Amino acid sequence: TPPVYSLDGLLVFGLLLVCTCAYLRKVPRLKAWLLSEKRGLWGVFYKAAVIGTRLHVAVAVSCILMAFYVLVVK
């Protein structure tokens, strides 16, 4: 089965989405272009960027734990 359909695949996808959006929020032109809309489909990216910047410690720890899980356990 594709990894998107498993729980760990969804968690990896979510973490990558949050980390990418938080990184793009630091780039001024991309912030104004991609992350200015707060509703709809583009609002998902805005909310992921807010989660990534406000909970950066928890997101970083989650990325480390997920990397350990993917590389060692799985």
Looking up tokens 């970083």, which residue turns up? 60
Of 2-11, 31-40, 46-55, 59-68, the one with minimum mean pLDDT is: 2-11
Q: Per-domain residue ranges for the chain?
A: 5-73
Q: How confident is the model at residue 68 (pLDDT cuts 50, 70, 90)?
A: very high
Looking up tokens 């973490």, which residue turns up? 15
CB 35 within 8 A of CB 25: yes
3-state secondary structure of 61: helix
Please give the residue that has the higher pLDDT: either 10 or 5.
10
